[in-house]
C-alpha cells in the first residue's frame, strides 16, 4: 500500500461549543494519510492517474471554511467521508488538531482511521 499525504493543512472555520467560539474563526490543522496505488502515476508521469493532493486540499478547504460545527468529531467524520467517497480512497488516517484550544497544551484533537487498508 502506498500513501499520499497532506501535512498541516490549516483552515479557518467556526468550531467549538462555547458562545465565543461561535463568533470567531479558529484555525484547525489537518494531517491526512490516504491509501493509494501510485504505480500507474509513476509509470505514466500523468496527474490523471494520481491522487491529486491539491484537489483534495482545495475540496476540504472549501468544505471546512463553510462549516460551523461544534465538535471536532463532526468535522473529522466529514473530512474522512469526502476523501473516501469523492476521491475513491479506500483507507484514510486523519489527525485533526485544534491549536491553542486547551490552556497548557499545544493542541488538542483526534485521530481517526476509516475504511479498509489495502494489502
Ligand atoms: N472531544 C471533544 N472535546 C471537546 C471539544 C470537541 O470538539 N471534542 N470541544 C471543546 C471546546 O470547543 C474547546 O475546544 C474550547 O476550548 C471542549 N472539549
In short, whether 17's Cβ falls inside 6 Å of ligand 1 is yes
Residue 93 Cα to ligand 1 midpoint, Å, equals 20
pTM of the model: 0.97
Task: List pLDDT tens digits, range 53-85.
Answer: 999 999 999 999 999 999 999 999 999 999 999
Cα(61)–Cα(26) distance, integer angstroms = 13
User: How far apart, in Å, are the Cα atoms of 13 and each of 42, 64, 70?
Assistant: 35, 6, 11
Q: For each of the domains in the chain, give its residue range(s) and CATH number, in order of start.
A: 2-115 (3.30.1130.10)
Q: In this structure, which residue's CA is closest to atom 4 in ligand 1?
A: 71
> Which of the following is catalytic: 54, 58, 98, 117?
98
As to burial, measured by CB atoms within 10 angstroms (0-12 exposed, 13-18 middle, 19+ buried), residue 21 is middle
**ipTM confidence score:** 0.96
pLDDT of residue 11: 98
Is 117 among the residues known to form the active site?
no
16 CB near ligand 1 (under 6 Å): yes
Task: For residue 64, count other CB atoms closer than 10 A to its CB.
Answer: 22
9-52 residue pLDDT tens: 999 999 999 999 999 999 999 999 999 999 999 999 999 999 99
Amino acid at each position: 500500500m502506498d500513501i499520499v499525504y497532506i501535512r498541516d493543512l490549516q483552515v479557518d472555520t467556526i468550531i467549538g461549543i462555547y458562545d465565543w467560539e461561535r463568533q470567531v474563526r479558529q484555525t484547525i490543522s489537518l494531517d491526512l494519510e490516504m491509501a493509494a496505488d501510485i504505480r500507474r502515476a509513476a509509470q505514466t508521469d500523468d496527474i490523471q492517474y494520481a491522487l491529486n493532493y491539491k484537489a483534495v486540499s482545495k475540496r476540504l478547504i472549501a468544505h471546512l471554511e463553510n462549516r460551523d460545527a461544534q465538535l471536532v468529531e463532526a468535522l473529522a467524520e466529514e473530512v474522512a467521508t469526502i476523501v473516501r467517497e469523492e476521491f475513491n480512497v479506500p483507507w484514510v488516517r486523519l489527525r485533526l488538531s485544534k491549536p491553542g484550544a486547551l490552556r497548557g497544551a499545544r493542541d488538542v484533537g483526534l485521530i481517526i482511521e476509516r475504511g479498509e487498508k489495502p494489502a
